[in-house]
Amino acid sequence: MSRSLSEALFTPFKQSIEEFSLPKRFTFPFYYSPHPLCILAAKELQEYIGNHTNWQHNFGLSDDNQTAVGKMFGVLLVKNKQGEIGYLSAFSGKIADSNHHAHFVPPVFDMLTEGDFFRTGQENLNQISHQIKSLESNPELSMLEQALKAEQQSSNMQITAHRTSMIEGRKNRKEQRVKAVTQLSTGDFVALKDELSTQSIKQKNKLRDLTFYWNERINKAEKSLNSLLDEIIKLKNKRKALSAALQQKLFDHYRFLNKQGVEKSLYDIFDDTTQQTPPAGAGECATPKLLQYAFNNNLKPLAMAEFWWGSSPKSAIRQHKNFYAACLGKCQPILSHMLEGIELDDNPLLTNPAAGKTIEIVYEDDDMVVINKPAEFLSVPGKNIEDSVYLRMKQLYPNAKSPLIVHRLDMSTSGLMVIGLSKQAHKNLQKQFINRTVKKRYVALLDGLLSKDNGIINLPLRVDLDDRPRQLVCYDYGKPAETHWQLIEQKKGKSKVYFYPKTGRTHQLRVHSAHIKGLNMPIVGDDLYGNKDKRLHLHAEFLEFSHPLTKKLMTFQIEAEF
């Protein structure tokens, strides 16, 4: 295959790269600092995107943000057969309603052009959906539903009224029998008992007849309604089956290569995972596209990087031109296959960040301990790392009779934590946090200049299921999260603030800082929602609560190191 065909999208660097060292190993894609050559490639690609004229796409960099759709772009540093170093470019999903644009690698599978079966299948599904919508909008359906409801209500009213009458009848008959014992002769008493028994039987028979009557009417109404509903249910089941079959066929057409030339379908890749079914958009991200093109064209992958271009989406946090790791939910299974046999950088998430660090004891008595947790120190054991505040406290207080941890701080956040040493103290302290009677204050350094002195942020949060542990702003399923903030000072383009969280959601202060509807500027050093630095500049500096046993008001304050 000629170079012009096989390496059509291989892009040489515009400037000399002789002073750059090549990566020793491929990037660990789920947590990385971009290699200098990837940063250079990204800058060149960003210049291209900013100056292109081949297509129009609203990234939200102008005033029109209503229809804006930012995109993740990726660069792959590669070496060709001639030993030359260059890079490939890709975007996630589609741009300007197309999968194909000059300068960018193609998708792994293009359902828009290659997948005639997909278009046909979608058209069939749309036709069925149209039929369902038409049947559901039939006025007769609404009339029959109302008729059934009316019959059910009338049945309930009449049967309930008769049951009430029966209860009252039993009560009256009992009273008559009690009086008759002393007032009537034996013969008259027997006659009265027979009469009361006949009354009881009549009421029971009437209940039977009423029940039968209304069951007949309700069954008739249900039969009329089901004659329409059955057709809708059949169509919905048909649509569900066709959709599942279409999705399965689509998964089989997404086939990913690795260094050894082994090909796996999207379905096969995710079949070995806990989720089993590939999430929406799996295989459409930039890095799988880049690797697929490299393997197909005998280009050696050396390093990767992905960056965001455009305005931030409404839920997730993305900063224009910032680099981001590949997502775990969609990309980890795919990239685990595609990068098999390629030596990767070490996974920093497996390195104990607390190694060599000590915990400062601020206060201690028989019931509780207050500590100053260092930054990059887990509060409780993680999936891969056991060293944590919990482990250190367990080692320091082996006789403590409680779960120890009352509340948590994010691993990257430093500051005050209270530890319960006895069950009674732990229970009381935890109750104070749950009832929100504990006063907390955090100090943070933001990457930007605030235009106001204070405010309140209300943005509900939930975990990003496709990219844990990141959090999303979600008004449908998120938990309420409220943060009060106050500006302390500004200098060198940064804003120092106090945070007073009223709730304690995961990453609450980090998301409320960085999100476009929050303060729209990340905390300095936030490797998830901003830019990595020596540390996350977030510190829990103040705690006030009642002593769990003496009830004495306890106040603690530790200044931040920044």
Q: What is the DSSP string of 458-516?
A: E--EEE-TTSTT-EEE-TTTPBP-EEEEEEEEEETTEEEEEEEESS--TTHHHHHHHST
Active-site positions read: 410
Cα separation, 169 vs 327, in Å, equals: 71
How far are the Cα atoms of 91, 97, 113, 337 from residue 279, in angstroms, in the given order? Answer: 18, 21, 22, 17
Which helix H or strand E contains 556, and what residues bound it? strand 553-557
Cα separation, 350 vs 348, in Å, equals: 5
Question: In sequence order, what are the beta bridge partners of 306?
Answer: 74, 324
Note whether 284 and 92 are within 8 A (CB).
Answer: yes
Give pLDDT, residue 1: 37
Length of the chain: 562
Cα separation, 366 vs 364, in Å, equals: 7
* Exposed/middle/buried for residue 397 (C-beta within 10 Å: 0-12, 13-18, 19+): middle
Residue 542: helix, strand or coil by DSSP? strand
Give pLDDT, residue 7: 64
Residues with Cβ within 8 Å of residue 28, at least 6 apart in sequence: 344, 345, 346, 347, 348
Note whether 405 and 388 are within 8 A (CB).
Answer: no
pTM as predicted: 0.81
Question: In sequence order, what are the beta bridge partners of 473?
Answer: 461
What CATH number has the domain spanning 351-557? 3.30.2350.10
- The ranges of the chain with pLDDT < 70 are 1-7, 63-66, 114-115
Could you tell me the two tokens for 141?
């359906």
What's 75-142 look like in SS3? EEEEECCCCCEEEEEEECCCECCECCCCCCCCCCCCCCCCCHHHHHHHHHHHHHHHHHHHHHCCHHHH
Question: Which residue type, as a one-letter code, is found at position 462?
Answer: R
Give pLDDT, residue 222: 94
Give pLDDT, residue 182: 87
Cα separation, 12 vs 188, in Å, equals: 117
Cα separation, 264 vs 256, in Å, equals: 5
